[in-house]
Amino acid sequence: MLSSNYLKKLSIIALILISLTTACWATSGLSVSPADITVKINSTQLFQEEIAVANIGDSTLNVTITKKRMMKNNAYTLYTDDGIATWITVDPAEFTLAPNETKSVKVSINIPSNLNYSDAMGALIIKGNPVETQTKNSSGTNLILKQAPAILVPVVVGLPGQIIESLKLSNHKSSLLLLNFMPGTFNYNVTNNGTVSENATATTQINGWFSKHQVNSSGTVYPGDNYYFKNTWTPDIYDLGMYTAETNITYGKYGTTKTIVQKDNVFVIPVWLIILIILALTVWIIRKKEIKSPIVIKRRDD
């Protein structure tokens, strides 16, 4: 049986944990409407939009809005201060929101006259930093509880200009030698040197002596950006010998209209063959050196 003092201590600890969890997770929150900004412009001009930022928590927030250019691939997202980030103006960019308060923010996109591409992707990073609050626990120690919610608002701008669809294979690297159950990778770095975003898919067809395989990956490449395709293939127990890997990178604004072709070779060494060679060498060395077994079996004559 548990003692009454132990139960009291356990109850106090549980109450403290519940209160801390409630303070940390239920005090802050942000809401933004609309959730994204998509702009289609017919000529070089100034575009204006309003977004509503609301404090849906129960603590006062110091809100900051940062404008960024956004570049993505299948592994990473990069935020920079160039490109579309220099076109965007936010007013106000810093303000304070009381609980349940909503603030209208003006977003202006000033399209430059010397633009050189038709698609651009940016983002507004909206972060709410709670005003520092102090609470006292039973021991009299001051605790500072903070939670900083953040929301990402994508900004996609379609601009006027000549439509040029062009992807260039900047670099590629593939595995040359594999073992069974050893993952091999086919990496392709493409650059969009056109004027519009491209929906691209990299399909690698792997053909061997006894089997065929296919792996693929896809993504969107914006003008001026680099994108890394990574296709992974793992040979199984039946794969062996020389394989040809042909990768077709198909891309287009609204469909697959163009293709980049890259061919590579990969050699698969079966694990079971390595084991057989090791066993054969071991037997050959034992016979050549006439090594006697340490275990001697004698026949007993009755």
Pairs from 274-281 (Cβ < 8 Å, separation ≥ 24): 274/179
Domain ranges of the chain: 28-135+142-158, 167-288
The pLDDT of residue 143 is: 52
The pLDDT of residue 2 is: 43
Q: Topology of 28-135+142-158 in CATH? A: Immunoglobulin-like (2.60.40)
pLDDT in tens, 40-92: 776 667 888 999 999 998 889 999 999 999 887 666 788 889 888 999 999 99
Distance CA 22, CA 42 (A): 50
Share of the chain above pLDDT 70, in %: 79
Q: Topology of 167-288 in CATH? A: Immunoglobulin-like (2.60.40)
Distance CA 216, CA 186 (A): 10
The pLDDT of residue 205 is: 97
pLDDT in tens, 15-44: 444 444 433 344 568 999 999 998 877 666
Residue 256 has pLDDT above 80, yes or no: no
Of residues 196 and 147, more confidently modeled: 196
Distance CA 233, CA 151 (A): 36
Same fold, 28-135+142-158 and 167-288: yes
Distance CA 5, CA 219 (A): 61
On whether the pTM is more than 0.75, the answer is no
| Average pLDDT over every residue of 150-168 | 86
Backbone angles phi, psi at 9, to 5 degrees: -60, -45
Distance CA 196, CA 194 (A): 6
